[in-house]
Structure 1
């Protein structure tokens, strides 16, 4: 069940609450065990949800899950304040530094990264045309909620808080969370960057990773030296409360990186996150050990999603170079479609080195695909057990010279297949052609 908190001290929250009740059928209940100001009195239930109202602002309510009937997740329906114009936004709560706006110093609430990713998608679907959708860093209380939680916000000023279409959009997005799990298998922590988090939003939208707590540049400034015991504990808690073993760091924070590693977690790049998306992490780790790192050019092939075993083989260098010269993208595709992983150079754009295949059939398929690319350049391509043989009939400048043809336009005509006349004698292109054979060991 998802608990929804509406604050009477927040007009936007009340407005969203009105549409939560009008957009779905609810059963009205009564709870006389708690004061009305603390979520007691009249409250609302429907399949998958319970909605209660509180007098205080959300950020001042600690352990609010206690007011609800065994929730699995909690959503604060809230306003967003700032100079950001029409905006629907989501974020997690707590403080990396001093608690200026609710919560406790250096304490972080438990996150629901999968639900936040789903909320962003629902915002996309329901947001009025004028509204942007975004994620924010962790920046205010409460620090203890009792279950995984997040803020779903309508911003950024009086005009938007009173906008019925926008309030309805937030309400519908919250209702779309019915049945959504709070967490997923792949979650990470974000460090660095601005208050709004486009890099981490990209990761959420474009990979199979979700993002928990985000400590922006100003959060890290508030945190202080990562090596101090209090800061170190807050960093540990960021991973724990995000259900994460990995982090992406935007900017250069060597002390932070050292502490993260010492705590047993790993800072990775956005490239790494993208490349291992869809690849079992245990397999990715093994391949990085056996071949090379993602950072140095390792890329994963189509077979990575279901590979159980693999063997490392060298790619045929000369054949690969020739195919790359014909069509770099198609060469990469040919290798990717038949490998578990493969090495690259030039920023991941050129296949080179070794690869991991499930067996001999995969390797043979690579050779066959590369040989097929040679057909674009050569007149005849033959696949043999240990080599690919390519033959071409090409213009031979030396033959042309012996027949009295001078370098220049006549060379070009003969090369293009057009006969030329020299000293009254017609020289057909066939007379100045030579068959060349190219052999590529495999």
Structure 2
């Protein structure tokens, strides 16, 4: 475990809000005695906190609405009180017509269509995903999967994506999905609640940051790469540019390289490789080649993530 770090989690705990996940997670944290009042008040509400044996501090911020839906209102206090945190997360639910029904999921934030990507720390995202997986197993949530999700931001319907860049802390959305039965699953919400204080639990693997391009929203190839480790090495998966948004964002056009570069440069410590889904159109494969040349990193078909020991360049990165 690293020590002396700070994390902040924004949790909408209003009774009447859609989705039970954040409210239930808040209740679980309270009932477990994991949180105590801090000396901070955020939007008129008392912020709770937890300190672990490594002197890491975790802030739990209650909000009236999910913060992404009112960045204009919340940003000043987010920066005032929590702008120096090492990592941030918004606890929420996931839904979608074609989404898997029982998932514990984490994703980085960004508006792919406009090429705006929030800062992200792959190590902490990996720690959180590993924590979710540990808790999934311990709590015998056999029907659930822990997965990554393509980069997106739910605030685009309410605010300018440019606001993402006004918060310097690496931010993730942490969710239970994707149906009402899952949102109301107390055991699944317990797994999420427990994992929040495991974001600094470091297995000391040497992390190789990967920018992932193509594939579907819940692409299993990128999700499985999170859990691959070999000889003390592991992948750092964070920003994932799904194929649907390559198309809608017109990444084949004149802004494509600049937009994709924004994703690479938002990843803490940079990228060491680019993994692309082999079923992408040729124009997007050309984009990946240009991106690899720009950053002087290898580009890999998604299948190669399954056999990391066979990636010859990996040991040279």
The alignment's TM-score, normalised by the length of structure 2, stands at 0.75
Aligned counterpart for 1:263 among listed residues 294, 303, 310: 294
Q: How does 1:363-378 map to 2 (within 5 A)?
A: none
What is the deviation of 1:241?
A: 1.1
| Kept after mapping to 2: 8 A contact 1:226/1:259 | no
**C-alpha spacing 1:67/1:248, structure 2 compared with 1 (3 Å):** same
Aligned counterpart for 1:193 among listed residues 188, 201, 215: 215
**C-alpha spacing 1:178/1:278, structure 2 compared with 1 (3 Å):** farther
- Name the residue aligned to 2:169: 147
What is the deviation of 1:280?
A: 9.6
Q: Distance in 2 between matches of 1:178 and 1:268?
A: 29
Q: How does 1:80-229 map to 2 (within 5 A)?
A: 80-83=94-97, 84-97=100-113, 105-127=114-136, 128-141=141-154, 143-144=164-165, 145-180=167-202, 185-207=207-229, 208-229=234-255
| Kept after mapping to 1: 8 A contact 2:274/2:288 | no
Q: Distance in 2 between matches of 1:87 and 1:270?
A: 22
**C-alpha spacing 1:213/1:278, structure 2 compared with 1 (3 Å):** same
**Do residues 27 (structure 1) and 36 (structure 2) align?**
yes
Aligned counterpart for 2:88 among listed residues 65, 74, 84: 74
What is the deviation of 1:169?
A: 1.2
Greater relative contact order, per chain length (Cα 8 Å cut-off, separation 6+): 2
What is the deviation of 1:227?
A: 4.2
Spell out, residue by residue over 1:352-388, the C-alpha distance to the aligned partner (whole angstroms, 9 max, x if none): xxxxxxxxxxxxxxxxxxxxxxxxxxxxxxxxxxxxx
Q: Distance in 2 between matches of 1:249 and 1:279?
A: 15
What is the deviation of 1:215?
A: 0.8
Spell out, residue by residue over 1:132-190, the C-alpha distance to the aligned partner (whole angstroms, 9 max, x if none): 22111112245333211211111112222122111111101112224549x96411110
* Greater Cα radius of gyration, structure 1 or 2: 1
The alignment partner of 1:256 has SS state of helix
| Kept after mapping to 2: 8 A contact 1:189/1:214 | yes
Q: Distance in 1 between matches of 2:198 and 2:310?
A: 25
The alignment partner of 1:263 has SS state of helix
Q: Flag structure 1 segments of 5+ consecutive residues without an equivalent.
A: 98-104, 286-442
The alignment partner of 2:260 has SS state of helix
Q: Flag structure 2 segments of 5+ consecutive residues without an equivalent.
A: 1-5, 52-56, 156-163
Q: Distance in 2 between matches of 1:114 and 1:225?
A: 27
Aligned counterpart for 1:42 among listed residues 46, 49, 63: 46
- Name the residue aligned to 2:160: none
Q: Distance in 2 between matches of 1:274 and 1:157?
A: 30
Q: How does 1:271-286 map to 2 (within 5 A)?
A: 277=309, 284=316
The alignment partner of 2:266 has SS state of helix
| Range that drifts further, 160-169 or 113-122 | 113-122
**Do residues 245 (structure 1) and 294 (structure 2) align?**
no
| Kept after mapping to 2: 8 A contact 1:17/1:77 | no
**C-alpha spacing 1:61/1:74, structure 2 compared with 1 (3 Å):** farther
What is the deviation of 1:279?
A: 8.8
What is the deviation of 1:120?
A: 2.3
Number of positions where the alignment pairs a residue of Structure 1 with one of Structure 2: 272
Q: Distance in 1 between matches of 2:144 and 2:305?
A: 29
| Kept after mapping to 2: 8 A contact 1:139/1:219 | no
- Name the residue aligned to 1:352: none
- Name the residue aligned to 1:421: none
Q: Distance in 2 between matches of 1:236 and 1:141?
A: 22
Aligned counterpart for 2:258 among listed residues 198, 216, 233: 233
- Name the residue aligned to 2:54: none
Q: Distance in 2 between matches of 1:185 and 1:130?
A: 29
Q: Distance in 1 between matches of 2:239 and 2:179?
A: 25
The alignment partner of 2:173 has SS state of strand
